[in-house]
Chains A and B, each alone.
Chain A
Amino acid sequence: EAQVTQNPRYLITVTGKKLTVTCSQNMNHEYMSWYRQDPGLGLRQIYYSMNVEVTDKGDVPEGYKVSRKEKRNFPLILESPSPNQTSLYFCASSLRDTDPYNEQFFGPGTRLTVL
């Protein structure tokens, strides 16, 4: 089944404790990205990747890191989480980086709470 998977689905952590949210897709997509969803704000892009070893900042990159060592994986790293990073996080992927009309497939979301 074609899908985007994220782990963990739920995470409660404390301020300053490094964490990684994994994202993996099995559709051989070049383009991958991370969004965060906050009440009343919709979804905002954090980072994106056009292909392996190619990443760039989105609209709200502060406090986050990413890497793209393999085509299928795009982990989101919070080196020192803070309470303002409490949010619902989505990973998304699509087939071709030069065709924005392509559907972006979303993962199931990761609910992160930073105490």
Chain B
Amino acid sequence: AQTVTQSQPEMSVQEAETVTLSCTYDTSENNYYLFWYKQPPSRQMILVIRQEAYKQQNATENRFSVNFQKAAKSFSLKISDSQLGDTAMYFCAFIPPNSNSGYALNFGKGTSLLVTP
């Protein structure tokens, strides 16, 4: 079974600072897909960034970037220049290739991020 672990239940960062959210996963597959989703207080699930495991280059989307360490099975999310609107629950998720579960997103338990003025 594939599992996703987010070891930080809650984090806090000041506006304009940088914060890194941790995610580790367990799989025996060589290729797979990793995602970070954001869930603000509105509860809407919003895709932040995604990475395909065979691509060595770390994905970047504006202020959001990942540090993908395949050997360590680590997929951390870095948020630069944090803004108040980044306050949300962040979920790391994993999809194995050729999934028998219909490409279900396997989610971690989430990290609650609070951005303070």
Residues in chain A within 8 A of chain B (CB atoms): 31, 33, 35, 40-45, 48-50, 56, 58-59, 88, 90, 92, 94, 97, 100-101, 103-104, 106, 108-109
Is A103 a contact of B47 with CB atoms below 8 Å? yes
Is B108 a contact of A42 with CB atoms below 8 Å? yes
Is A42 a contact of B110 with CB atoms below 8 Å? yes
Chain B residues in 8 Å Cβ range of A92: 45, 105
Is A42 a contact of B91 with CB atoms below 8 Å? yes
Is A50 a contact of B45 with CB atoms below 8 Å? no
A49 to chain B: closest CB distance in Å? 8
| A106-B109 contact given A33-B102, A101-B52, CB 8 Å threshold | no
**Can you list 7 contacts pairing A with B, beta carbon distance less than 8 Å?**
A31-B103, A40-B109, A45-B101, A50-B102, A97-B102, A100-B33, A106-B44
Is A58 a contact of B104 with CB atoms below 8 Å? yes
Chain B residues in 8 Å Cβ range of A58: 101-102, 104
Is A100 a contact of B97 with CB atoms below 8 Å? yes
Chain A residues in 8 Å Cβ range of B33: 100-101
| A101-B50 contact given A41-B109, A90-B45, A106-B45, CB 8 Å threshold | yes
Q: Does B68 sit at the interface, judged by CB under 8 A?
A: no
In the docked arrangement, what's the CA distance between A74 and B45, Å?
18
Chain A residues in 8 Å Cβ range of B47: 103-104
| Contact residues of B between 1 and 53, Cβ < 8 Å to A | 4, 33, 42-47, 50, 52
